[in-house]
């Protein structure tokens, strides 16, 4: 992204920032080639898209939404509400979200008192609250609010001595998988207690931005995962984006954006893995 090498910033949840370079960690489960195709035929998929694509509904509790949760934190503007999701990693402790959910960008700082609540619904917390040990965002987001780098990885602490992915599993992280994929989105609106869901095909907004039409995805859904190629047999899909980036995810609720997940996002992920994620 942005045509330059990655320079990342990280902090604990207390907001102490420091720059460090990303370190690759062998064995981290990242997809860099096309994942296995969906079991749906193209004909069936196109029929579903023409009938239901872009429509938003209340998300059901199932294996697709189980790894998605609400992010609560205290920022300079008060309590904040975003969305994140669990991705596979060596330490089984990483959640991906939008950078603007956890750091104010240029002139701002890190949000504090952050917790991730998977499966949150109307005040119920079926898997409890998971503390955030550290935040990884790109230094260019910190310096200039670069929309192409509006991605963050959260390294979670344990609950009852268990890691988040050992309890819920995690989806793969998809890097350099191209544009024009069919994805499902699940997110938590700030004006509702239940998550909403939508699926549609992505298009290319710009060199490093993806775009999708999903009706009524308002504030709070920032950080919502863009999940593709979900395999019900393995209960695993691939996250290729999060609501964020251009216009911090979109100025209107019917169109959403995501930074394109490329090698800069992989560098952030590697840094989070190196920090124990």
**Which tokens in the block code for residue 76?**
């300079």
C-beta of residue 101 within 8 angstroms of C-beta of residue 79: no
Residue 8: pLDDT band with limits 50, 70, 90:
low
Question: What's the pLDDT at 213?
Answer: 94
Domains of the chain: 8-274 (2.40.10.10)
Average pLDDT over residues 93-116: 95
SS3 2: coil
| Cβ neighbours of 104 (radius 10 Å) | 17
CA dist 24 → 36, 41, 86, 110, 124 (Å): 24, 36, 20, 25, 37
Neighbours of 25 (CB within 10 A): 17
Return the pLDDT at 73: 86
- Mention every residue, 6+ apart, whose C-beta is less than 8 A from residue 162: none
The arithmetic mean of pLDDT across residues 73-88, rounded, is 84
Sequence-distant (≥ 6) Cβ neighbours of residue 34 within 8 angstroms = 177, 178
Q: Which of 67, 8, 55, 57 is nearest to 236 (CA)?
A: 67
On whether the CB atoms of residues 249 and 221 are closer than 8 A, the answer is: yes
Residues 103 and 136: their CA atoms lie apart, in Å, by: 10
Do 187 and 220 form a contact (C-beta atoms < 8 A)? Answer: yes
pTM for the structure as a whole: 0.85
pLDDT in tens, 28-59: 456 544 444 444 555 544 555 555 567 788 89
pLDDT attached to residue 190: 85
Q: Are 134 and 97 in contact (CB under 8 A)?
A: no
Cα 20 to Cα 25, 137, 254, 275: the distances in Å are: 15, 11, 37, 11
> In this predicted structure, what is the pLDDT of residue 62?
86
Beta bridge partners of 73: 80
How many Cβ atoms sit within 10 Å of the Cβ of residue 233? 6
Backbone angles phi, psi at 92, to 5 degrees: 60, 35
Largest CA distance in the chain: 51
Question: For residue range 257-268, what is the model confidence (pLDDT) as tens digits?
Answer: 999 999 999 999
Share of the chain above pLDDT 90, in %: 62
Instruction: Quickly count: other Cβ atoms within 10 Å of residue 46's Cβ.
Output: 14
Please tell me whether residue 113 adopts helix, strand or coil conformation: strand
pLDDT attached to residue 53: 61
């Amino acid at each position: 992204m942005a045509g330059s090498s990655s320079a990342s910033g990280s902090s604990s949840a207390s907001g102490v920032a420091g720059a460090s370079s990303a370190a690759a960690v062998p064995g981290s489960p990242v997809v860099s080639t096309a994942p296995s195709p969906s079991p749906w035929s193209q004909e069936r998929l196109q029929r579903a898209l023409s009938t239901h694509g872009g429509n938003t509904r209340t998300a059901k509790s199932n294996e697709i939404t189980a790894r998605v949760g609400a992010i609560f934190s205290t920022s300079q503007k008060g309590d904040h509400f975003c969305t994140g999701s669990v991705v596979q990693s060596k330490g089984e402790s990483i959640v991906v979200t939008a950078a603007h959910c956890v750091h104010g960008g240029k002139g701002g700082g890190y949000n504090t008192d952050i917790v991730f609540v998977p499966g949150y619904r109307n005040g119920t917390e079926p898997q409890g609250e998971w503390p955030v040990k550290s935040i990884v965002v790109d230094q260019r987001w910190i310096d200039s609010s670069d929309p192409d780098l509006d991605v963050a990885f959260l390294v979670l602490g344990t609950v009852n001595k268990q890691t988040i992915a050992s309890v819920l599993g995690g989806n793969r992280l998809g890097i350099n998988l191209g544009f024009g994929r069919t994805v499902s989105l699940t997110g938590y609106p700030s004006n509702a207690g239940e998550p909403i869901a939508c699926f549609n095909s992505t298009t290319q907004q710009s060199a490093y931005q993806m775009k999708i039409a999903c009706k009524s995805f308002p504030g709070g859904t920032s950080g919502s995962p863009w999940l593709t190629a979900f395999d019900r047999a393995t209960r695993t899909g691939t996250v290729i984006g999060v609501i964020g980036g251009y216009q911090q995810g979109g100025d209107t609720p019917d169109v959403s954006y995501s930074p394109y997940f490329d090698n800069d996002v992989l560098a952030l992920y590697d840094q989070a893995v190196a920090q124990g994620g």
